[in-house]
Each structure stands twice: as C-alpha cells, then as structure tokens.
Amino acid sequence: MKFFRYIKNIFLGIWHLLQGMYITMLNFVRPKLTEQYPENRGKHVYFERFRALLTMPHDENNHHKCTACGICMNGCPNGTITVISKMENDPVTGKPKRVLDKYLYDLGGCTFCELCVRNCPFNAIVFTNQFEHSVFTKERLVKQLNRPGSSLAPKPVQKPEVKVSNGNVEGPALHKGQPVPPEKTQTI
Amino acid sequence: MWSFSELTEWIDATLRSLMGDGWALFVEFVLIGVAVLVAYAVLALILIWVERKVCGFFQCRLGPNRVGKWGIFQSVADMIKILLKELIRINRSDKVLFRMASFFVIIGSICTFAAIPFAKGLQAIDFNVGVFYVLAVSSLGVVGILLAGWSSNSKYSMIGAMRSGAQLISYEISSGLSLMAIVVLSGSMQLSEIVAQQADTWFIFKGHIPAFIAFVIYLIAGHAETNRGPFDMPEAESELTSGYHTEYSGIQFGFFYLAEYLNMFIIAAVATTMFLGGWQPLHIAGWDGFNAVMDYIPSFVWFFGKTFFCVFLALWVRWTFPRLRIDQLLNLEWKVLMPICLVNLILMAIVVIL
Ligand code: SF4
Ligand code: SF4
C-alpha cells in the first residue's frame, strides 16, 4: 500500500508541476503591458484622474478664477501653496478689494493629495497629466501658477449655491469625474 | 550533409605544407584553444541575453530593451562593465585558494564544453570514454565551489559551498545513472559513436519509455548541477546573499557567472547529444522525401536548435517553481530520482535484450 502511495505521489507531483508550467507559459505568450516611455511620449493616454501637476487654467483673456481666498493654502497638509494677495481698487465699485498677486506652488513638497483642488470653492485650480517634472535645482520646483498680468475673471463667479433636491445636498460644481466629497454634502 | 571535417582537414593540410609536422600540430592546438574560448565567451553572452529576455517574458515584462534593438548588446555592455570592475581583496581570506577557485570552476566547464560534438565533424575532444570524461570533468566545478566557499572567510560563502557540495555530489549520481541508460542502449561511450548511431532514430524514440524517463531525470539532475532554478540552494539570494560567490568581484565573479550559464548550455548540449540525436536531423523511417528535406538543414542548426530547446525548458522550469529546502532537495535525489534511475537502468537493459 505504501509503495502504491509512493508511486501515486510521484505522478501527482509531476501533474502539479506541469500545471505550474502551464500557467507560466500562459504568461510567456501573453502580450506585454510594459509602456516604453520615451518612445510612446505624447502617444500614451493617461487616466484623467492621474494627478501630476497643479495648474491654474486661464481663459483666452488671461483671466483665472482664483479670488485669493487662501482656502487651498490653509488646507494643504504640507504647506506647498503660498497665496500672496494685494489690495486693488475695484474698477466697478471703486472700493479696495483683495486680488491675487502670486500663486506659488512648490512641487517638491506636494504629495498630490488633491485636497487643494477639492476645497477650492471656485474651481480655480486643477491637476493635469503633465508629469515630466525633473529640473536641476530645487528652486525651480517652485512654480508660479498665475500667469503674469492675469486677473480675476470679470464676471464675478457665482457664490456656490447649495441645491437641495431629494434630500441630497449638492455642493458646487465639482471637478469633472470626481465623486462628491462627503464633507461638502453632509456637514450643512 | 556538409561536414566540418572538410574545413578542418583543409586547414591541417595547409599548415603541414607550410611547416613541419610538430609545428603544424602546435598551431592547430592553439587554434582549437582559441576557437573553444571564443565560442565559450560568445555563447555565454548569447545565453545571458536569452535568459534575461525569457525571464522577462515569463514575468510579463519585456526584459532588456535599451542597448541595441531588443537589447541584444546588453550582455556585451555588461561584459565591458564587469571587465572594468575592481578586484576587491578580501581581508583574511586565503589568497591563493581564493584566486584559484574561480579558475577551477571555469576550467571544468570549458573542458566539458570542448568535448561536445557541435556539428558534423566539429568536435575537439573525442575520447572513446567520452561520456565518462564529460561526467568527470564537469564535476571539477564542485571543487572550485567548495574552495571558493572555504577560502573567502565568510559564513554565507561557507554555508553556500557546503550545500552546493552536498547537492552537486548527490545529483551527479542521477545524471550519471541516466546517461548510463543510454550507454547501455548504444553500447558505446564515445560521443561521436553515440551520435552516429542516432542517424535513423534518436535514442529518445529508440529507447521507448526508459529513454524518456532517463531524459527527464537527466534534465532534472542536470538542472540541479547547474545551481539554477528551483535548486539554487548554494546561491539562495534571500538566505545567503549569493552563496559561494558572495565575496567575489570583477572578472572573478564573472567567471562564476559565465560558468553557470555555460553549464546550463552544456547540460542541454549533453542531453541533446545523448537523447535527441546530437546534430543528426530528424528522420522518420519510411518518409524518404521528408528525410531528404531534413538533411538539407545544416547540422549545427539542428544541434543548436535542439540545445536551445533544452535551454528553454531549463529557463521555463527555473522561472516557474519556487526554491526547494535543502532537505527536500536531498530527499528528492536519494528517495525519488536515484531509485527511479536504478529501476530505469534495469528496464533499459530489458529493452536492449528484447
Ligand atoms: S495636492 Fe495636497 S499637498 Fe499638493 S498642493 Fe494640494 S493640498 Fe498641498
Ligand atoms: S485657488 Fe481656490 S482656494 Fe486657493 S486661493 Fe484661489 S480661490 Fe481660494
């Protein structure tokens, strides 16, 4: 009996080893997913949710949407963002008003948590897929996001409306494709 | 089928017409030595590249792909790098043995390499005890490995070398016994004679089941002798950093590395010679047209094709199975492979008698 078990174990062992080899052979012939980076430069499509570089979109008239409220600066866990504001006289009302002077973003300190983008009430900043970041000195990692001479979009951005429908509270218009962050829906 | 002996005889005749017999012989020895060394180095480079590429494919990667198209010059670049590396002196190591060990390993493997019949008429050493010679010289490597472990004054090397000694000496038995099965079948130990006998049918077909069993066991035991794949106990990166060659650097490490890859090739080549008909083309009795077509393929293509098939099998196994524990390894040899080999030898004797 013991002898038969010995023989049976040998064949069972061989069968299991062959199964393993079958699996690796499947891997061998499977098309490889490796992205050949410098060759596919500009051709490869990245996921929209891929966070690579914080940018501030400007429209054709060199207007951005940032009101220099500083929420992003205060919310950033790493102190990556510095919002420098200045006072300017509003051309319409003639009253002094706080506007953005410099929006400094230190790429070297950013962990790409995206808290700044989600907390901005005016959708003034977004993450893009531009990921080729390397520079030679640390200082060059600090980028100014607002373009020189840019200003706040003249039409005052609507105060974020809180719509109540079906008991669901909707926050301001969010970054495309993002789930509604719970802070904005629940804590009213 | 074109034979390389025409070329070698022409060289021989030219040399003899130019100089005395003694000098001609001397020049031929030097030429053969150089040719063997060059073939050894080139094959090593090719094998390293193949290994890395195949390994990458098995792991769903692309492998080296930067140096040259598909990275074919990767191993050349590696060779240049390894030649430029410093040879580090190990404190309180046994200098002489330490230097000697790597030469033992590589000389053992070169000597085996020279005995392989690569193509029709292309064999440097053809003893009438060729199989015996191959087994004897290839086990010279164990001495080198033990010396390397002993002399480098490091516990990792020591443990690696001891394991390797236990492993290699055990697996020599199975590989020897499985080759004996073919020696029984062919009645000769001369490699050229063994190849010549397989002109009609390869021994793996001629020897029925026992030849097939011997082939599989030889591949397993040979794999274990090369310290690779699931049997890489002597190196066991995760336990022993890299076993017996932990302390080596530069080209001395390179020697161990080359010997490892070439031993893989040699095992595959011996398996090809003994079981798969060496450089003989595939002949099927009765299919004369088919046989004639097969004869047009040059003999070295047959040899390298079959050998690389065996090398591929070795790589496939290596990248599939996890490493064995040392006691499992020795159990496998002494409790499974060796008894099967002995029974197989008897079976083969019965097949030959019938
Ligand atoms: S992504 Fe996170 S770390 Fe980076 S700037 Fe925004 S809040 Fe700061
Ligand atoms: S980017 Fe948004 S959150 Fe940050 S200061 Fe400008 S408006 Fe405020």
Domain count, chain B: 1
Residue type, B220: I
Mean pLDDT of B8-23: 80
Cα–Cα distances in angstroms (integers) from residue A74 to residues A105, A115, A174, B168, in the given order: 13, 10, 20, 67
Q: Nearest CA to B223 among B319, B93, B88, B318? A: B318
Residue A170 has what pLDDT? Answer: 46
Question: Concatenated DSSP letters for B6-48?
Answer: HHHHHHHHHHHHHS-HHHHHHHHHHHHHHHHHHHHHHHHHHHH
**DSSP 8-state code for residue B336:** I
Residue of B60, B65, B320 lying closest to A21 (CB–CB)? B320
Nearest-CA distance from A49 to chain B in Å? 25
Examine residue B337 and state whether it is found in any structural domain, yes or no.
Answer: yes
Residue showing tokens 């030097």: B30
Residue B291 has what pLDDT? Answer: 76
Mean pLDDT of B274-284: 79
Residue ranges in chain A whose pLDDT is less than 50 = 157, 167-188
Within 8 A by CB and 6+ apart from A144, the residues are A102, A103, A104, A105
Examine residue B269 and state whether it is found in any structural domain, yes or no.
Answer: yes
Instruction: Show residues of chain A in contact with B321, CB under 8 Å.
Output: 17, 20
Q: Report helix angle B130-138 to B95-114, nearest 10.
A: 150
Q: Which of A151-160, B10-19, B128-137 has the lowest mean pLDDT?
A: A151-160
Q: Which of B53, B54, B57, B318 to mutate to test the interface with A (most CBs of A within 10 A)?
A: B57
Q: Which of residues 18-47 of A touch B (CB under 8 A)?
A: 20-21, 23-25, 27-28, 30, 32-34, 36
Please state, in angstroms and rounded to a whole number, the distance separating the CA atoms of residues B240 and B238. 6
Examine residue A94 and state whether it is found in any structural domain, yes or no.
Answer: yes
Model pLDDT for residues B23-68, shown as the tens digit of each residue: 888 888 888 889 888 988 888 888 888 888 888 888 888 888 888 7
pTM metric for this prediction: 0.75
Q: In this structure, what CATH number is given to the domain that contains residue A112? A: 3.30.70.3270
Q: Show the domain range for A73.
A: 53-152
* Cβ–ligand 2 contact at A127 (below 6 Å): no
* Cβ–ligand 1 contact at A116 (below 6 Å): yes
Q: Show the domain range for B258.
A: 94-353
Examine residue A89 and state whether it is found in any structural domain, yes or no.
Answer: yes
Q: Which of B81-95, B170-184, B225-239, B253-267 has the lowest mean pLDDT?
A: B225-239
Domain count, chain A: 1
Strands (E) located in B143-218: none
- Residue contact A23–B320, C-beta within 8 A: yes
Residue A188 has what pLDDT? Answer: 36
- Can you tell me the ipTM of this complex? 0.72
Examine residue A75 and state whether it is found in any structural domain, yes or no.
Answer: yes
Handedness of CA B181, B186, B192, B198 (dihedral sign): negative
Mean pLDDT of B3-15: 78
CA triple B100-B101-B106, angle to 5 deg: 100
> In this predicted model, which residue has the larger pLDDT, B1 or A81?
A81
Write out the two tokens for B16.
């003899």
Residue A182 has what pLDDT? Answer: 46
Examine residue B291 and state whether it is found in any structural domain, yes or no.
Answer: yes
Examine residue A97 and state whether it is found in any structural domain, yes or no.
Answer: yes
Residue A155 has what pLDDT? Answer: 62
Model pLDDT for residues B174-230, shown as the tens digit of each residue: 888 888 888 888 888 888 888 888 777 787 777 778 888 888 888 888 888 887 777
**Do A37 and B338 form a contact (C-beta atoms < 8 A)?**
no
Examine residue A37 and state whether it is found in any structural domain, yes or no.
Answer: no
Question: Concatenated DSSP letters for chain A?
Answer: -HHHHHHHHHHHHHHHHHHHHHHHHHHHHSPP----TTTTTTTPPPPTT---EEE----TTSEE------HHHHH-TT--EEEEEEEEE-TTT-SEEEEEEEEEEEGGG-----HHHHH-TT---EEES------SSGGGGEEE-SPTT-EE-SSPPPPPP-EEETTEEE-SPPPTTPPPPHHHHH--
**Total count of residues recorded for chain B:** 354
Residue of B54, B321, B340 lying closest to A20 (CB–CB)? B321
Residue B332 has what pLDDT? Answer: 83
* Strand A81-89 to A151-152 pairing: unpaired
CA triple B255-B174-B135, angle to 5 deg: 45
- Residue contact A27–B60, C-beta within 8 A: yes
